Structure 1
Amino acid sequence: MENPAKYTASVSIGGNAHGPVAAGHGITITSTGAADPRPESPAADLSAVHRVVLTTDIQGSGRHDNAGQRHLRRVLAESLAAGAAELGPQVDMFDRGDGTLVVLPETVTVVVTLDTFVEATARALREHNRAASADYRVDVRIAVHEGLVDRVGAQWSGAPLVHVARLVDAADAKRALATAADACVALVLSETAMQVVDQGYCRVGPSAYRPIPLSVKETSGRGWLRLL
C-alpha cells in the first residue's frame, strides 16, 4: 500500500488545465477545473506576521499560444511543488497568470528558502529543460523578500508582496536570463534578504550575486541577482 501524502500545497493552475497534477513527494496541485475541498490556509485572520514571500514569473510566456502557456504553467507548478515538498510545512501558493505568489510558513527562514525551496525548484526546472525542445523550455524569474504581512481568510496582503512583485519584473533580471544559455532561473533578492546572504548563513555566498537597479512603476532601488 502506498504511503499517504504527508504535506499538501494547493496551487490554482488556471487556464484550461484540468485535473490533479502530482509532483514532488506527496504533493498535489489542483487546477481550477476541479474544486479543492481543502482550505488554502487556516481560517484565522493574522495581522503583522513576519513571512518570507516569493514570487515567480515565466520568462517570455507571451510568445506561446494557449497550449504552450498551459504547458509552461504546469511545469512551473510542478517545479514549485518539488520545492515545497522539500520544506514539509504547508506552503500557500496563489496563481498569478504566468507566475505564482508564494507565502512561506513562519518557520521557514530566508536561509531555508534559498538553500532548500529555491534550489529544489531550480533543480526540477533543469531536469525538465534537459529533456525539452527549445519550444518547451521553461525559464523562470524568482524574487524573494521578507517582512510583515496580513492575512484575512485565505488572502494575503502587505507591502512585501508589492515589493517582491516589483523585484521579479526588474529589467536587468529579464535581460540576464534571456542571454544566459546555461541558466533556467534568475533569482532576485531584496536588500533585506541579501543581508542574510551577506552574513554568511546561506550555502551560496554574496560573491555569487550582483546588484541590479530596480525601477518598476513607483518602486525604485536595488535588487541582487544570481543566475541558477
Structure 2
Amino acid sequence: MAVSGRHAVHRTMVLVDVERFSAPGRTLHHQLDTRAGLYAVVAEAMAAAGVPWEDCHHEDRGDGLFLLIPPEFPKAPLVEVLPEALARAVRGHNGTSHDAARVRLRLAVHAGEVAFDQRGATSTALTDAFRLLDAAALKQALAGSPGVLAMIVSRLVFDDVVRHCATLDPATFRPVQAAAKEFRELAWIALPDHPYPADPTVLTPRSPDTPAPETASADHVATGPASGPEAHARYDGPGPRGVHIAGDVQGSGPGITIGAATGDHLTIGTPPPPAQPPHNPR
C-alpha cells in the first residue's frame, strides 16, 4: 500500500523486465499475451515468497513492472525463493504459449527510501534500481544463459541479505561494476535456474581502502581468469590497481597496442632512450 506525503519510507524494490519485448516477431497480439503472462508469473512467484500482491505498490512499465514491498516482509525470501519460483512460473508460461509470447526475464532487487505522490513513486534509490535492471552485464548474462532468468542485486542487498542466506550460496553470484549514465555501482549477478559454478574467491573481503572493480569500457562481470582476446585484471587487495583490457592486443617487440579493435588505443612499450648531447667536435 502506497503512503503519500513528503517523507520517504523504506521499501524493498523488485523490478522485472522482458528480454527483447519489441522483437520483430512479437506482434501486438503476442505483446498483450506476453504482458498477461508477465503479471501472472510475477504474482505467482511473489506469493511463493510469502508476499501478497495486494500488499505491494506496483507500477507498469510496458515491457516490465516493478513492485515496492513494505518493510514488514523480510528480504531473504525475495532472493532465496522468488527467483526460483519466478523461473519455474516462466517455464510453465512458455510451455503453453505461442513462441512469440514466450519470455525470458531480467530481475533486479534493491532496497532504499522511496517517496510517494498522487502519480506514483520516486527516489534516487528507485532510479538506481532501474539502472541495475538495465545494466549491460545483466543483459549479457541472460543472453549467454540457457535459462529463462538473470538476477542482479545491489551491493546493499548482497552484503546485508545474500551473504547471510541459509539456503542460497553467495559464491554462485558474480560481481559486476554496473554503469549507466551517471550511475556507477558494484552489484552482483546470479542465474537462478542455471547458476554459475560456486567460486568462494569472489567473496574475498576487500579492505576499506580498496576501490570497487572497474572497467575501461562497459560494465563487466568478473567470472574468473580471462582467455582469448579479452583479459581481466582484478584488484583484490593492496598494491597497484589492475586494469580491464578490452579489444585485441597487437604488436610485438618494444611495444604493443591495446584496444585496437575498439578504437580506444593505448600503446605500451619501452621508453625512448635519453636524448644524447649534441656532438661537439674539437
CA distance in 1, matches of 2:172, 2:37: 26
Give the 3-state SS of the residue equivalent to 1:148 in structure 2.
strand
RMSD value, Cα: 2.0
Question: What's the CA shift for 1:140?
Answer: 0.6
Among 93, 97, 115, the residue aligned to 1:150:
115
- Contact in 2 for aligned 1:114/1:202 (Cα 8 Å): no
Is 2:41 the counterpart of 1:76? no
- Contact in 1 for aligned 2:17/2:133 (Cα 8 Å): yes
Deviates further, 125-134 or 210-219: 125-134
- Contact in 2 for aligned 1:145/1:192 (Cα 8 Å): yes
Structure number with higher helix proportion: 1
- Contact in 2 for aligned 1:52/1:110 (Cα 8 Å): yes
Give the 3-state SS of the residue equivalent to 1:204 in structure 2.
coil
List gaps (5 residues or longer) in structure 2: 193-282
Question: What's the CA shift for 1:53?
Answer: 0.6
TM-score, normalised with respect to structure 2: 0.61
Among 54, 57, 60, the residue aligned to 2:20:
60
- Contact in 1 for aligned 2:12/2:75 (Cα 8 Å): yes
Give the 3-state SS of the residue equivalent to 1:62 in structure 2.
coil
Is 2:149 the counterpart of 1:185? yes
Is 2:100 the counterpart of 1:135? yes
- C-alpha spacing 1:132/1:56, structure 2 compared with 1 (3 Å): same
Deviates further, 107-116 or 131-140: 131-140
- Contact in 2 for aligned 1:186/1:226 (Cα 8 Å): yes
Among 74, 77, 85, the residue aligned to 1:109:
74
CA distance in 1, matches of 2:166, 2:39: 25
CA distance in 2, matches of 1:218, 1:51: 23
Render the CA deviation track for 1:1-36: whole Å, top value 9, x for unaligned.
xxxxxxxxxxxxxxxxxxxxxxxxxxxxxxxxxxxx
- Contact in 2 for aligned 1:51/1:149 (Cα 8 Å): yes
Question: What's the CA shift for 1:202?
Answer: 4.8
The equivalent of 2:125 in structure 1 is 160
- C-alpha spacing 1:107/1:187, structure 2 compared with 1 (3 Å): same
Is 2:138 the counterpart of 1:173? yes
Is 2:5 the counterpart of 1:45? yes
CA distance in 1, matches of 2:154, 2:114: 16
List gaps (5 residues or longer) in structure 1: 1-40
TM-score, normalised with respect to structure 1: 0.74
The equivalent of 1:217 in structure 2 is 181
Render the CA deviation track for 1:141-176: whole Å, top value 9, x for unaligned.
010100111122462211111011000111111112
Is 2:91 the counterpart of 1:126? yes
Question: What's the CA shift for 1:214?
Answer: 0.9
CA distance in 2, matches of 1:212, 1:130: 32
CA distance in 1, matches of 2:5, 2:81: 28
- Structure of greater Rg: 2
Question: What's the CA shift for 1:99?
Answer: 0.7
Question: What's the CA shift for 1:111?
Answer: 0.6
